[in-house]
């Protein structure tokens, strides 16, 4: 039953992303041929909104409150996405030894840090969100009932590799009710 709900959630997220499909080439064998998913500066608002909407769809299906984009959390995510590229590894520690909590504070966020999601991939924001939902630890962050705000950012290397970072938080002074 839980697996079926997860599959339905992923289909819903894919439906949100279907608003603007990513072109896909097909090989001679009829299978999709990988292509580089390029993100331009002008795509940023659309990509961030799509990630937020996908997360909110999943949260809504689980009886959780919606999250809103937050500039400070987005700044912390952007800093870390660039730093992961610099380090050539997707992990939660900054090259200066900083933790996700320290980076959110440095970015000026005064709420409660809830969690951070990171990824090194050539996949779209929707594919990345779907992959996060398949893993218990990252799914737990996405569906954390405390979350009310998020930051979404990425860094794209010249070869097209994407370094995704999503940071979730709860504003200072909010009541941390469960579901």
Q: What is the pLDDT of residues 19-64, one digit of tens each?
A: 444 455 667 888 776 677 887 888 889 999 999 999 999 999 999 9
Q: Are strands 162-170 and 149-156 parallel, antiparallel or unpaired?
A: antiparallel
Q: Are strands 32-33 and 25-26 parallel, antiparallel or unpaired?
A: antiparallel
Q: What is the pLDDT of residues 8-21, one digit of tens each?
A: 444 444 444 444 44
């Amino acid at each position: 039953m839980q697996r079926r709900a997860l599959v339905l959630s992923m289909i819903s997220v894919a439906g949100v992303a279907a608003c603007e499909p990513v072109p896909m080439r097909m090989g001679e064998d009829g299978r999709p041929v990988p292509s580089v998913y390029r993100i331009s500066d002008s795509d940023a608002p659309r990509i961030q909104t799509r990630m937020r909407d996908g997360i909110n769809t999943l949260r809504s299906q689980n009886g959780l409150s919606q999250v809103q984009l937050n500039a400070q959390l987005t700044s912390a995510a952007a800093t870390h996405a660039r730093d992961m590229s610099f380090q050539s590894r997707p992990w939660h520690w900054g090259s200066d030894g900083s933790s996700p909590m320290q980076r959110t504070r440095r970015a000026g966020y005064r709420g409660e840090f809830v969690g951070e999601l990171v990824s090194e991939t050539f996949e779209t924001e929707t594919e990345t969100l779907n992959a996060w939902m398949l893993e218990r630890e990252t799914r737990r962050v996405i569906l954390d009932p405390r979350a009310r705000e998020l930051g979404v950012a990425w860094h794209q290397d010249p070869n097209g590799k994407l370094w995704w970072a999503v940071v979730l938080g709860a504003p200072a002074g909010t009541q941390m009710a469960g579901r």
